Amino acid sequence: GSILSNMLLVLGCAFFAGGLAHPNRDQVFNKASAVVNSGLLLMAVLGLMFPAVLHFTHSEAHYGKSEVSLSRFSSCIMLVAYASYLFFQLKSQRSLYSPIGEEEESTEDEEDEKEIAQGEAISWLFVLTIWISILSGYLVDAIQGASESLNMPLAFISVILLPIVGNAAEHASAIMFAMKNKLDITLGVAIGSSTQISMFVIPFCVVIGWMMGEEMDLNFQLFETATLFITVLVVAFMLQEGTSNYFKGFMLILCYLIVAASFFVHVDPKSSDNK
């Protein structure tokens, strides 16, 4: 849900707001960084697709084991790819991924004073992370009851409503930077966050579950996986030119409305096994 929200709603609203703030020209961002992120997202879809296809086509060599083994292997590969991406972007080819117009904005950034110190920022980040993890536990326990009381599908609440609320800060910051014509930061917030979730968080959870003896896999059901695949393709086509305008943002928002409507009428099939 966070991946879909970041790529369609957050990025779409940012492009739309940035286009309205700069109506007479297309905004420009670093095409190389956007293409690499699109490739990583497609690789994440590849890793998520085959366990689902393997499960629903009943073509496992060892029923109940091949799907988990493939998911664990793919998770390790995705983690290696993400670590290589960080090294490639931050060390090996750092100059290629510097934001467009960084030299012109450096003088403005120097004038901005630091609001909090680095140690204070790390302390707040640590405290808020623990607090959010505690609240997440209560939230997960309340989703089922909320679904029944509101008469809404569980998939719609967990994939559409919760990510919109959870991504409110990212949503606001992405729009703010887009209106300031800093689209590279906007892409870092929206696309970079989606890349981190799909290439690091999800595989890392599978590996941690493996260490704990839990049989977690990358099977997110065919409907969810197909939705993610189409979303990544749409966003990749939008980013391939390295420019944005309000019309591209409007199209991304409309795509998100279609996805939201699809999940509103979708109910996950009940699994016959105990996984």
Give me the DSSP letters along 11-37.
Answer: HHHHHHHHHHHSTTS-EE--HHHHHHH
Domains of the chain: 1-88+151-265 (1.20.1420.30)
* Mean pLDDT of all residues belonging to the chain: 79
> What pLDDT does 106 receive?
46
Dist. CA 148–CA 128, nearest whole Å:
30
> What pLDDT does 258 receive?
92
**φ and ψ of 218, to 5 deg:** -100, 20
**263 has pLDDT over 70:** yes
**207 has pLDDT over 50:** yes
The per-residue pLDDT for range 91-130, each reduced to its tens digit, is 766 565 555 555 444 444 444 566 777 778 888 888 888 8
> What pLDDT does 254 receive?
93
- What share of the chain has pLDDT > 90, as a percent? 4
CA atoms within 13 A on the CB side of 206: 27
The structure's pTM equals 0.77
In 10 A of CB 215, how many CB atoms? 15
Beta bridge partners of 28: 243
**231 has pLDDT over 80:** yes
For residue 105 the two structure tokens come to 């904005």
> What pLDDT does 274 receive?
43
Of 30, 46, 13, 15, nearest in space to 232 by CA:
46
For residue 134 the two structure tokens come to 């505690």
- Which helix (H) or strand (E) segment holds residue 147: the answer is helix 118-150
Residues 28-65 as b/e (b if ≥16 CB within 10 A, e otherwise) read ebbeebbebbbebbebbbebbbbbbebbeeeebeeeee
> What pLDDT does 113 receive?
60
For residue 93 the two structure tokens come to 């080819």
The per-residue pLDDT for range 161-196, each reduced to its tens digit, is 778 877 777 788 888 888 888 888 888 888 888 888
The per-residue pLDDT for range 31-76, each reduced to its tens digit, is 877 888 888 888 888 888 888 777 777 766 667 677 788 888 888 9
**234 has pLDDT over 80:** yes
> What pLDDT does 100 receive?
56
What Rg, from alpha-carbon coordinates, does the chain have? 20
> What pLDDT does 273 receive?
47
Dist. CA 174–CA 53, nearest whole Å:
35
Low-confidence winner among 30-44, 139-153, 194-208, 254-268 (lowest mean pLDDT): 139-153
